[in-house]
Amino acid sequence: MLQIIISILLALGLTIAQSDTNNEVQQESGGPQVVNSDFNSWFQDGRVWYPDLNLTPEYYFWDSGNKGADSFGTHNLTVPETEFVVSGKAAKLMSKSIFGIFAAGSIYTGKFLKRQGMGANISMGVPFQGKPTGFKGYYCYKPGTIDKTDDAHTYLSGVTDTCNIYAILTEWDEPFIANTHQGKFVDLNTNLGILAIAQVSSGETNNGYVEFNIPFSYRSLSVNPTYILIVAAASKYGNYFTGSTESVLYVDQFSLTYD
């Protein structure tokens, strides 16, 4: 099966980058890409959808909150979209309330580890070696009015929700272990391991897909990245159990650009 996949990739003009630290796909753009960043491959394990071809180390690069939400029943917040797409398939991210607890639809490079209380432990980031100049892709956002907040974000109640999409390059020695139960997250402003960032946030309602092409803002050019973390969320403050239960974000065809 692997040989068949490799043959197909070669026929499409793609090559497999050989590395002991990652399994990036080397494309014609001149630099490594994260596997399945076009979101064309999906795998269903029981009731849970994964944005990956399968869950082997060669292809398991993306995850979502589906595994945690499934602990409370069948609640896939991130699902494959086959009709409203740019090309192939897309990812549909939906924010919802599950037994009164707000959960934001999200997708990220990394792995869901385990549920803890009403939160979760999440391994964020995958090994990566490359210095892309930009982060591009497509999104379509249909925000709702924020109707769920934690105690620290009640001032957002009644305002329009915001989506959040970003990519960061880091010099981490290992993935960042987030703990949503304890409020431990990657701080894009203060995390000293972040070398570069590209980000787009929006609260506008879109009728169709919007293309974005954001240059990376490098904080250091002298250090080579070791990890990449790409995140998309239908509710920007979903980590804080804050957002709209009506917000939906579609994302498709993510890629890294190189000069």
Cα-only R_g, the chain: 18
Q: What sections of 121-255 are H helices per DSSP?
A: none
Q: How many CA atoms lie within 13 A of 126 on its CB side?
A: 25
CATH number at residue 159: 2.60.120.890
- Residue positions counted in the chain: 259
Point out the least confidently predicted range of 69-78, 213-222, 230-239, 247-256.
69-78
Tokens encoding 182: 């304890």
The answer to the question of residue 9 being in a domain is no
CA distance 221 to 229: 18
Q: What does the pLDDT average to over 213-227?
A: 95
Q: What is the dihedral of CA 159, 94, 196, 129, to 10 degrees?
A: 180
Count of domains observed in the chain: 1
Tokens encoding 97: 């309330």
Q: What is the pTM of this model?
A: 0.87
CA distance 174 to 170: 10
Tokens encoding 22: 């990652």
The answer to the question of residue 2 being in a domain is no
> Which range, 61-70, 100-109, 136-145, is most confident?
136-145
The values of phi and psi at residue 176, to 5°, are: -85, 125
The boundaries of the domain holding residue 113 are: 36-257
Q: What does the pLDDT average to over 115-129?
A: 86
List CB contacts of 154: < 8 A, sequence separation 6 or more: none
- The three-state secondary structure class of 46 is coil
The answer to the question of residue 27 being in a domain is no
The answer to the question of residue 6 being in a domain is no
The answer to the question of residue 223 being in a domain is yes
How crowded is residue 54: how many other Cβ atoms within 10 Å of its Cβ?
A: 13
Tokens encoding 164: 């959040």
The answer to the question of residue 28 being in a domain is no
pLDDT band at 4 (very low <50, low <70, confident <90, very high): very low
CA distance 69 to 177: 19
Query: Which CA distances in Å does 26 have to 38, 132, 152, 200, 254?
Result: 14, 12, 44, 25, 14
Q: In what order do the strands lie in the sheet with 32-33?
A: 15-16, 25-26, 32-33
The answer to the question of residue 208 being in a domain is yes
The answer to the question of residue 222 being in a domain is yes
pLDDT, tens only, 124-178: 999 999 999 999 999 999 999 999 999 999 999 999 999 999 999 999 999 999 9
* pLDDT attached to residue 15: 31
